[in-house]
Structure 1
């Protein structure tokens, strides 16, 4: 029986861009708005607007990624921290610092807190780093990949007898993964199976490496 570690022996390259809710609007669209807000004037109004637009950029990216990975088929709390945890389970970067800056956004939106210049700039920069870190997965989502065995790796042992090529099928939004070789189904499961996350995480990490 194969384990998700099998994916590490394959050249998982390629994929397709994920879909975003609004055509022609990207996370970078809102991030650009945030930068304009920040540079416009060093006023509380501009800082609040900058944080709000940077938050939109972050949430827009997270929502698109979780949807691509099958979120709509999962019965879970529909809140931002839960979505971040979901992405982490799928191998997508989910740093603790994102949760920390989300507290600033909550304070601005719900507690009438006025962020200062340094806090605003930090928020924008962290969101920009997150968008950069998740850009590859969003641009090359591993929905349909034929992956070749890295047989020339010095650590590869032919006795492992791995297939020369595997087919990875992770249709965007379907919440279902199938991994096949020429004559066998290696793995086939939906998002209701805990092993779905183990396999998807290995595929996403290997694809982005």
Structure 2
């Protein structure tokens, strides 16, 4: 069940704050280990007031996924597409995502949440998997690069984007299993390897220098 959208600015601000609190909580403990009662207590709202916005933990988690996916894809897309060429855009995509994870602690929760809720059948049907928007963004960059002959034309842009996004989320999951202090450096090392493989596969041998 989708949560209601507040009709006032104050209500919208309260809902946004609850989503932020929940995102951090889910990022630290995961969906299963995070108690709904703990999130309500942390929010400072009464149980009845909290239920007005989110009637269940599953509804709250689904809202966190939808909210953060849209905000973070928008942030990364704005930064990446500011570059002039598809090659430059692709070169900055992983650094932009890593910066996002570094400065937004709740970002670690999105894929984990989607996986946990999906496995339980609790994910809101109106919420797309968070990988979908990333695949669309990357596939668009690859297709643009094929048109300008920067990337190999015979490749399936959607298929390549799906594999690369899946690989990134895979190495993120591996890093996520470690301690908070270790997961950032580990993800950066593995992301650098993934970037090298992606560039070689797309036929990019000469990357732009910063």
TM-score in terms of structure 1 length: 0.27
**TM-score between the two structures when normalised by the length of structure 2:** 0.27
Identify the structure with the greater helix proportion.
2
Q: Which has the higher contact order (CA 8 A, sep 6+)?
A: 1
The structure with more radius of gyration = 1
User: Higher strand share goes to which structure?
Assistant: 1
